[in-house]
């Protein structure tokens, strides 16, 4: 209650500081004095005018009270007008009650009160409408200026931008879009995007449209291929968004950047690396075959000759016999090492039986000479893959196992092969000491981790990806995922 009282006092104090408050008070005083001063007389011409209008002296003065009521509405709003109207009514009623024509005078006072408030509300509404119109005009000017700026940015943007309706008809495009497609802006307006995309691109565009309409997650930017007006292919990186009006989809906006040169260079580099890798594998295959057919066979002959010499010569001194037996054992060790090297260069089981048998051989081989407990687990329907895929995946697993053997200080390794409908995923997981994985795979080669960098390159050659997850003291997982 005290707070409301103090708030009212503060409001009245603020009101008294306004010049308009005192102006209205003076006007009310100037009207009230003659209203109650019976000795004052109107000028003759004014008395005659009021008589002709059917107004008495006090009726004219009551009409004058409309002035401060309406004026207060301009200054303080309809609340101020209502307050001044109440004050005016309080001034008029005592004189009207003692008047011989009391009923008429009270009616006139009430009419002044009502008409004053109506006029004040009317003027207040007109002023609000005027202010609203001014704000609308200002907003319209700002909107027009913003539209001009947007149009200028749209037309001069370095990226190609075009807008299309729900049926794929283009209704707006900039100069960069004309440069990207080879068509003029006038030719693009009204053209359907079906004329710019091939069948596979149209299928992809329909998928993008469906995801945007259903508000499904969409990885952007994405790539599309189109055909220019001259028939040449263009590759562009695209970002798409849905256009709506009042929550209803009306079209799509596309922002595209030409990446044809970059992708062609990447494709050429990819082809070069692919050919270099293929040549490298062919050379490994040739060396493996030569080691098996020549070197190992020569070592086998040498071993048999030493064994025959030791067995046939009865009169050999014991010292010579021991030296020959040592040479025979060394020859067998060298033969085993060369055979392992030949298998590492190109395991015969990979060509004859496929990826999974080759991985089983690799797991057994590394267990035999490293002490690692290695096992292979297969999920899904096992099947053969193209030779290039099997070879690249085998090399990735081989390099991962070598890293475990040399650096991880692990005891167990598990190779998990997941055959899915459209992808194959291989995971090499160990229980070693782990390490800090670089945030960027491109830093692997810079940090001296050439083996990991090579694994990444092989995965990329197959259109796949390589992920490395490791934590100190909690082992490492190398995951390669390739579409097939």
The count of residues in the chain is 484
Question: Sign (positive/negative) of CA torsion 191, 196, 199, 202?
Answer: negative
In a domain, 185, yes or no: yes
Determine, yes or no, domain membership for 95: yes
Domain that holds residue 329: 280-346
- Give the domain CATH number at 187: 3.30.450.20
Distance, in Å, from the CA atom of 249 to the CA atom of 210, rounded to the nearest integer, reads: 12
Whether residue 353 sits in one domain with residue 314: no
Q: What CATH code is carried by the domain that includes residue 357?
A: 3.30.565.10
Question: Does 62 map to a domain?
Answer: yes
**Residue 352 · residue 327 · CB < 8 Å:** no
The verdict on 458 and 444 lying in the same domain is yes
Report residue 482: phi and psi, to 5°: -130, 130
- What is the structure's pLDDT at 398? 87
Beta bridge pairs of residue 484 = none
Residue 272 lies in a domain: no
First to last CA, the chain: 80
What pLDDT shows up at residue 39? 42
Residues 389 and 321 in one domain: no
Last residue of a domain, one of 322, 346, 370: 346
Same domain, 440 and 326: no
- The order of strands in the sheet holding 170-173 is 170-173, 160-165, 248-258, 233-245, 222-227
Q: In which element (H, E) is residue 428 found?
A: strand 423-430
Strand pairing category for 412-419 and 373-379 = parallel
Domain assignment present for 84:
yes
- Euclidean distance between CA atoms 467 and 477, whole angstroms: 8
- For residue 440, the model assigns a pLDDT of 60
User: How many C-beta atoms lie closer than 10 Å to residue 244's C-beta?
Assistant: 10
Q: Please give the Cα distance from 185 to 174 (Å, whole number).
A: 7
How far, in Å, are 15, 122, 171, 225 from residue 111 at the CA level? 27, 16, 62, 80
**Rounded CA separation 91/28 (Å):** 9
Distance of CA 236 to the CA centre of its chain: 18
pLDDT, tens digit, for every residue of 276-335? 667 766 676 777 677 767 787 888 888 888 777 777 766 777 787 788 888 888 888 888
Both 192 and 237 in a single domain? yes
- Inside any domain, residue 268: no
- Give domain status of residue 142, yes or no: no
- Domain identity same for 13 and 80: yes
The pLDDT score that the predictor gives to residue 36 is 63
If asked whether residues 301 and 193 sit together in one domain, one would say no
Same domain, 184 and 112: no
What was the pLDDT predicted at 271?
66
* Percent helix, percent strand, percent coil in the chain, to nearest 5: 65, 15, 20
Using 70 as the pLDDT threshold, list the residues of the chain that sit under it: 1-18, 20, 30-61, 77-78, 96, 98-99, 101, 104, 150, 154, 265-277, 280-282, 284, 288, 292, 313-314, 342-346, 348, 438-450
Q: Count CA within 13 A, CB hemisphere, residue 465.
A: 3
Indicate the number of domains in the chain.
4
Is 43 domain-assigned? Answer: yes
Answer whether the bond into residue 483 is a cis peptide, omega within 30°. no
Q: Are 30 and 117 members of one domain?
A: yes
Residues 163 and 110 in one domain: no
Write down the pLDDT at residue 273. Answer: 57
Name which of 471, 368, 466, 454 is nearest 425 in CA terms: 466
* Residue 354 and residue 484 share a domain: yes
Q: How many CA atoms lie within 13 A of 28 on its CB side?
A: 22
pLDDT at res. 242: 86
Residues 102 and 20 in one domain: yes
State the alpha helices, DSSP H only, in 157-244: 175-181, 185-188, 199-213
Laid out side by side, the sheet with 373-379 consists of 373-379, 412-419, 423-430, 476-483, 465-470
Q: What is the CA radius of gyration of the chain?
A: 48
């Amino acid at each position: 209650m005290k707070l409301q009282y103090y708030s009212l006092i503060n409001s009245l104090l603020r009101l008294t500081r306004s010049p308009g408050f005192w102006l209205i008070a003076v006007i009310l005083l100037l009207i009230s004095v003659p209203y109650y001063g019976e000795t004052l007389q109107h000028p003759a011409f004014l008395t005659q005018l009021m008589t002709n209008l059917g107004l008495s002296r006090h009726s004219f003065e009551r009409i004058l009270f409309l002035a401060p009521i309406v004026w207060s509405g301009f200054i303080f709003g309809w609340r101020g007008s209502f307050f001044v109207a109440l004050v005016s009514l309080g001034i008029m009623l005592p004189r009207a009650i003692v008047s011989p024509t009391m009923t008429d005078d009270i009616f006139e006072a009430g009419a002044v009160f009502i008409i004053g408030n109506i006029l004040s509300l009317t003027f207040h509404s007109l002023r609000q409408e005027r202010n609203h119109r001014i704000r609308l005009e200002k907003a319209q000017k700002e909107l027009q200026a913003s539209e001009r700026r947007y149009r200028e940015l749209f037309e001069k943007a370095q990226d190609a931008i075009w807008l299309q309706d729900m049926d794929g008809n283009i209704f707006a495009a900039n100069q960069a879009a004309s440069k990207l497609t080879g068509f003029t802006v006038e030719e693009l307006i009204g053209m359907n995007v079906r004329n710019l995309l091939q069948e596979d691109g149209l299928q992809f565009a329909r998928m993008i449209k469906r995801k945007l309409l259903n508000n499904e997650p969409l990885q952007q930017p994405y790539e599309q291929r189109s055909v220019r007006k001259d028939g040449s292919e263009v590759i562009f990186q695209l970002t798409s968004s849905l256009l709506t009006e009042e929550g209803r989809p009306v079209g799509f906006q596309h922002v595209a950047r030409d990446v044809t040169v970059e992708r062609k260079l990447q494709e050429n580099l990819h082809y070069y690396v692919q050919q270099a890798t293929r040549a490298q594998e062919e050379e490994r295959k040739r060396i493996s075959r030569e080691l098996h057919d020549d070197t190992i066979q020569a070592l086998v002959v040498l071993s048999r000759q030493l064994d025959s010499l030791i067995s046939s010569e009865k009169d050999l001194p014991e010292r010579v016999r021991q030296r020959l037996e040592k040479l025979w054992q060394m020859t067998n060790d060298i033969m085993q090492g060369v055979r392992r090297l030949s298998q590492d260069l190109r395991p015969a089981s990979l060509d004859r039986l496929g990826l999974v048998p080759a991985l089983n051989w690799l797991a057994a081989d590394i267990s035999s000479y490293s002490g690692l407990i290695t096992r292979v687990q297969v999920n899904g329907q096992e099947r053969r893959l193209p030779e290039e895929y099997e070879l690249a995946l085998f090399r990735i697993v081989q390099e991962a196992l070598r890293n475990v053997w040399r650096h991880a200080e692990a005891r167990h390794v598990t190779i998990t092969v997941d055959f899915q409908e459209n992808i194959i995923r291989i995971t090499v997981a160990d229980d070693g000491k782990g390490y800090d994985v670089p945030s960027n795979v491109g830093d692997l080669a810079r940090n001296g981790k050439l083996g990991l960098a090579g694994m990444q390159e092989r995965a990329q050659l197959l259109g796949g990806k390589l992920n490395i997850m490791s934590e100190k003291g909690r082992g490492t997982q190398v995951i390669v995922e390739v579409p097939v």
